[in-house]
Every structure is written in C-alpha cells, then in structure tokens.
C-alpha cells in the first residue's frame, strides 16, 4: 500500500498539469483569402473545442508568404486571412471577445510554401 501512495500522488499531479493547446491549421491557396471545405471543417472543429473550453482564449494567427515581392501586400493578405478565420469562428459560435487576432508579417525567407499560406488557431489559457 505504501508503494501505491507516491504513484497516486503523481497521478493527481499529472491531472492538474496544464497541457499545451492543440493548434488547428487552416491552409489557403496561393494569394487566396477564400476558405475551402477542408478549411471550414478545421475551423468548425476548433469552434467545437472552444465551446467545450469556455474559459480559453482563441488565438488566431494569420500568415502569408512573401511571394510577390511586395511585403505590404502580403501582410495585408495575412490580416485578411486572420479576419476571415476569426469571423468564421464567430459564426460557428465562438464569442468575439474570446478571439484574439494576430497577423504575422511575411519574410522573404518564407516564399510561397504551403506552410506560409496558413492561419493557426490555438486555444490558450487567459
């Protein structure tokens, strides 16, 4: 029995530990700010997770690759993507006061890779 007490204590501590939030990644076509069905499904899944975690903040980070050589135009695309995903989350039931939008400025090193054409959604503790 005495051997089980430390194990029980560790189990209780593990249950109290906060786990990092899962990132939901929405991908876009090149220079696009339109959602396809897959993107809508990812956003809907994130909205359901936000609903089951009502105390969390929903962080939305928009990215755009530096493809056209015009970093200000690419930054605008990142902003538009973040706004679109945030609006869709709101339509799916996430309260607007829980959503935080952060566009990420493109860099010349990112180029037009698929990974640069994304929005990340993450649920974080307030």
97 occurs within a structural domain: yes
Whether the pTM exceeds 0.95: the reply is no
100 occurs within a structural domain: yes
3 occurs within a structural domain: no
Domain that holds residue 43: 21-124
36 occurs within a structural domain: yes
5 occurs within a structural domain: no
CA 102 to chain centre: 10
pLDDT tens profile 28-48: 988 899 999 999 999 999 999
Residue 68's alpha-carbon distances to 11, 36, 71, 80, 113, in angstroms, are: 53, 23, 8, 16, 13
110 occurs within a structural domain: yes
CA dist 43 and 121 (Å) reads: 8
116 occurs within a structural domain: yes
User: Which range in 19-33, 61-75, 90-104, 107-121 is most confidently predicted, on average pLDDT?
Assistant: 90-104
Domain count, the chain: 1
Q: What is the CATH number of the domain that holds 82?
A: 3.30.1330.60
Q: Yes or no: say if 68 and 17 are a contact pair by the CB < 8 Å rule.
A: no
15 occurs within a structural domain: no
């Amino acid at each position: 029995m005495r051997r089980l007490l430390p194990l029980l204590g560790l189990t209780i501590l593990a249950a109290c530990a906060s786990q990092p939030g899962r990132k939901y990644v929405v991908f876009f076509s090149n220079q696009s700010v339109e959602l396809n069905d897959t993107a809508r499904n990812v956003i809907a899944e994130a909205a359901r997770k936000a609903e089951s975690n009502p105390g969390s903040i929903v962080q939305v980070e928009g990215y755009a690759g530096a493809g056209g050589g015009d970093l200000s135009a690419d930054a605008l695309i990142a902003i538009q993507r973040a706004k679109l995903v945030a609006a869709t989350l709101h339509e799916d039931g996430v309260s607007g006061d829980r959503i935080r939008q952060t566009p990420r400025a493109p860099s010349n090193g990112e180029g037009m890779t698929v990974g640069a054409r994304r929005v990340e959604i993450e649920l974080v503790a307030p």
